[in-house]
Amino acid sequence: METAKEPLFGKTLNELIQLTGSLGWPKFTAGQIADWLYKKPVGSIGEMSNLSKKNRELLAELYDFGTTLPAKVQVSADGTKKYLFVTGKHQFIETAMIPDDNRTTVCVSSQVGCKMGCLFCMTAKQGFQGQLSAGEIVNQIHSIEEAESVSNIVYMGMGEPFDNLDEVLKSIEILTSEWGFGMSPRRITVSSIGIVPAMTRFLQESEAHLAISLHTPFDEQRKSLMPVQIAYPIREVVEEIKKWDFSGQRRVSFEYILFKGLNDTALHVKELSRLLNGIKCRINLIRFHPVPGTPLVSPDEETILHFKNQLNDKGIFTSVRASRGQDIYAACGLLSTKEQNSV
Amino acid sequence: MQSTKQNLNKHELKPVRITSNSEISPNVFVISWKRTSDFEPGQVIKISADEHEPPRIYSICSGNREEEMYVLFNVKPAGILTPKLALMKPGEEIFVSEPYGNFSCNGSPATWIATGTGIAPFYSMIRSGNIKNKKLIHGVSYSNQFYFEDQLKATLGDSYICCCSRDHSGAHFPGRITDYLLAQEELPKGDKYYLCGQALMVVEVRDLLIQKGVPYGQIYAEIFF
């Protein structure tokens, strides 16, 4: 039985140096391969024309280039696109491309499914099916039609990035290194529910922005929304964040999905301002788009606006995130679950 | 960039000596060491066989007044930690963190729902004397996976429900936990529900409980990750 060859795409420069060294090739060939993988619009080892024909043949015998085109794309009336990539056997991951004035933001997945079991999340209903490699994460940016114009990347798709931190950090290294995509880490935001030890390591080892899914400042309520609260309470997450300097260019933000009658009260505003006191941050309010089997609904626009204004009055910069791509299941997990169920 | 303040140290790993390591069911072990910390039943600890390798998180299985602390683990052949742990002998060192987490359950009426080794936090609660008004539903694939069955039967009596999905030979409910819950005409609405197991089980059971009228604010879940 033929086994799949190891992909080159997703390897760091150090890994490529090791690889070329093991083949007895000079060190500079690693940089040449990195150039073909991450800087040039090619998709096969045969196109790496500054490697000798013999070396290309040997490389192709041992490795795959390693990029994958999306299996499906849906386009929203507002220009948002949802890409579906196949990974593993009948496993689907989603990537959203969100155009906005002069920005093109790509929302990538970091796992297939998710282990975290949040009550309001559609991806949670798939359970956990596997980790994505750094190559599979970066491929979501490299292999979409808008690859050349991507300005911002958010790790807010399927999965919990800090539950796959090694591969997430490696993907950020590829995206931000001179030998890779050469992006500024300030164009990258990683969103997490707050796994404290992994968050600390992320803050130490990366310069990318951090976003934390908060959703309620109250312990018991957060436990019923997000099981992670049992192991890593939000107070512990915030205490750790307070140890880091966000007064410069690096940002921390808090994601807050509003649920009618649950977390949209004046008490929540008061407790949020108490919890986040001393952190230079912003809160992104998110409208909830119902998922099947979940007894939560979004408040009306008036309540959302009032909640935002109350937080701004407390001195916490707060905005409401625009809902995009609603006609194409852009909320993460919806499309892949639909696809999964049809296999 | 990094603050001068110290990081939280409760996640730091310290060496302990194994006092026993027994296979209680095929590929399922109980590993123990002398207890050095107080803890609340339902808390977890991190364990590593080597201080330089990333630890994994386990629910404490022992009672909070027992001299030994122990956890229940199943061997994942492709895993980093459990194949090593399974081979370790008494006297050898493993590395553990302080207990942490707050999956605690007071004396209020509660239904505990677990699959496989997810029974550990509930066994800890029982071993710590928290049995009044409690019902335990344990779901497994095969009947030899009802860990601590004799003790649980003796302690909880009819409040211990065993669901076995693949082996219908025993005196167990023949099916998954979700089948058992679906078969119940009514679930106690005033109970708190505590779930422990794989994410997909937690999500399916939670959806089912909500569908059967249990308020979601009364459902707490501990997930494996």
Question: Rounded to an integer, what distance in angstroms lies between the CA atom of residue B43 and that of residue B41?
Answer: 6
Confidence of residue A294 (pLDDT cuts 50, 70, 90): confident
What residues of A are labeled active site?
A: 94, 332
A196 in contact with B, Cβ within 8 Å? yes
Question: Rounded to an integer, what distance in angstroms lies between the CA atom of residue A295 and that of residue B71?
Answer: 35
Q: What number is the average pLDDT over the span A299-307? A: 97
A128 in contact with B, Cβ within 8 Å? yes
Q: Look at residue B8 and tell me whether its pLDDT is greater than 70.
A: no
Provide the ipTM: 0.85
More confident residue, A163 or A330: A163
Out of A24, A47, A64, pick the residue that ends a domain. A64
Write the DSSP symbol of residue B55.
Answer: P
Token couple for A13 = 């420069």
Question: Rounded to an integer, what distance in angstroms lies between the CA atom of residue A188 and that of residue A340?
Answer: 29
Task: Indicate whether A168 and A22 sit together in one domain.
Answer: no
Write down the mean pLDDT value for chain A. 93
Task: Indicate whether A223 and A262 sit together in one domain.
Answer: yes
CB-based burial label for B186 (10 Å; 0-12, 13-18, 19+): exposed
Q: Does residue A118 belong to any structural domain of this protein?
A: yes
pLDDT in tens, A63-122: 999 999 999 999 999 899 999 999 977 789 999 999 998 999 999 999 999 999 999 999
pLDDT in tens, B143-191: 999 999 999 999 999 999 999 999 887 789 999 999 999 999 999 989 9
B39 in contact with A, Cβ within 8 Å? no
A144 in contact with B, Cβ within 8 Å? no
Number of Cβ within 10 Å of residue A205's Cβ equals 12
Residues found in chain A: 343
Confidence of residue A325 (pLDDT cuts 50, 70, 90): confident
CB-based burial label for A136 (10 Å; 0-12, 13-18, 19+): buried
Q: Look at residue B223 and tell me whether its pLDDT is greater than 70.
A: yes
Number of Cβ within 10 Å of residue B37's Cβ equals 15
Task: Indicate whether A205 and A240 sit together in one domain.
Answer: yes
pLDDT in tens, A175-207: 999 999 999 999 999 999 999 999 999 999 999
CB-based burial label for B80 (10 Å; 0-12, 13-18, 19+): middle
Out of A64, A81, A108, pick the residue that ends a domain. A64
The ranges of chain B annotated as CATH 2.40.30.10 are 14-96
Q: Does residue A1 belong to any structural domain of this protein?
A: no
Give me the pLDDT at residue B5, please.
37
Task: Indicate whether A207 and A96 sit together in one domain.
Answer: yes
Q: What number is the average pLDDT over the span A221-226? A: 95
Beta bridge partners of B17: B93
For chain A, give the secondary structure using H, E and C.
Answer: CCCCCEECCCCCHHHHHHHHHHCCCCCHHHHHHHHHHHCCCCCCHHHCCCCCHHHHHHHHHHEECCCCCCCEEEECCCCCEEEEEEECCCEEEEEEEEEECCEEEEECCCEEECCCCCCCCCHHHHCEEEECCHHHHHHHHHCCCCHHHCCEEEECCCCCHHHCHHHHHHHHHHHHCCCCCCCCHHHEEEEECCCHHHHHHHHHHCCCEEEEECCCCCHHHHHHHCCHHHHCCHHHHHHHHCCCCCCCCCCEEEEEEECCCCCCCHHHHHHHHHHCCCCCCEEEEEECCCCCCCCCCCCCHHHHHHHHHHHHHCCCEEEECCCCCHHHCCCCCHHHHHHHHHC
Give me the pLDDT at residue A2, please.
52
- Domain boundaries, position A49: 6-64
Q: Look at residue B128 and tell me whether its pLDDT is greater than 70.
A: yes
Give me the pLDDT at residue B3, please.
37
Whichever domain contains A320, its CATH number is: 3.20.20.70
Question: Rounded to an integer, what distance in angstroms lies between the CA atom of residue A81 and that of residue A98?
Answer: 7
Confidence of residue B54 (pLDDT cuts 50, 70, 90): confident
Out of A24, A44, A64, pick the residue that ends a domain. A64
B2 in contact with A, Cβ within 8 Å? yes
Nearest 10 degrees: Cα torsion B197, B200, B203, B209 = -70
List alpha helices for B62-198, DSSP H. Answer: 82-87, 120-127, 149-156, 177-183
What is the pairing mode between strands B160-164 and B173-174? parallel
Confidence of residue A333 (pLDDT cuts 50, 70, 90): low
Q: Is B14-96 in CATH node 3.20.20.60?
A: no
Task: Indicate whether A270 and A327 sit together in one domain.
Answer: yes
Task: Indicate whether A38 and A135 sit together in one domain.
Answer: no
Task: Indicate whether A309 and A211 sit together in one domain.
Answer: yes
Of B203, B218, B222, the CB nearest to A124: B203
Give me the pLDDT at residue B6, please.
38
Secondary structure of chain B: what % helix, strand, coil (to 5)? 25, 30, 45
The ranges of chain B annotated as CATH 3.40.50.80 are 110-223
CB B72 within 8 A of CB B147: yes
Place of tokens 């086994």: A3
Give me the pLDDT at residue A342, please.
59
Nearest 10 degrees: Cα torsion A210, A213, A217, A221 = -160
Task: Indicate whether A40 and A82 sit together in one domain.
Answer: no
What is the pairing mode between strands B56-59 and B173-174? unpaired
Closest alpha carbon to B47 in B30, B64, B65: B30
Of A221, A244, A294, the CB nearest to B3: A244
Q: Measured between beta carbons, which residues in chain B are less than 8 angstroms from residue A167?
A: none
Task: Domain B110-223: give its CATH architecture.
Answer: 3-Layer(aba) Sandwich (3.40)
CB B49 within 8 A of CB B95: yes
Ranking A10-14, A245-249, B65-69, B136-140 by mean pLDDT, the lowest is A245-249
Task: Indicate whether A98 and A146 sit together in one domain.
Answer: yes
Task: Indicate whether A15 and A163 sit together in one domain.
Answer: no
C-alpha neighbours within 13 Å on the C-beta side of residue A54:
2
What is the sign, positive or negative, of the torsion defined by CA atoms of A237, A243, A247, A250?
negative
Whichever domain contains A26, its CATH number is: 1.10.150.530
List, as ranges, residues 54-83 from A with C-beta within 8 Å of B. none
Ranking A11-15, A31-35, A269-273, B186-190 by mean pLDDT, the lowest is B186-190
Closest alpha carbon to B140 in B177, B184, B110: B177
Task: Indicate whether A156 and A274 sit together in one domain.
Answer: yes
Give me the pLDDT at residue A341, please.
60
Write down the mean pLDDT value for chain B. 92
What is the number of structural domains in chain A?
Answer: 2
Give me the pLDDT at residue A324, please.
73
The C-alpha of B141 sits at a distance from chain A's nearest C-alpha, in angstroms, of 18
Closest alpha carbon to A158 in A178, A136, A142, A186: A136
CB B146 within 8 A of CB B162: yes
Q: Which residue type is seen at A101? A: D
Number of Cβ within 10 Å of residue B46's Cβ equals 20
Task: Indicate whether A148 and A224 sit together in one domain.
Answer: yes
Of A126, A127, A224, the CB nearest to B216: A224
Q: Measured between beta carbons, which residues in chain A are less than 8 angstroms from residue B207?
A: 125, 293-294
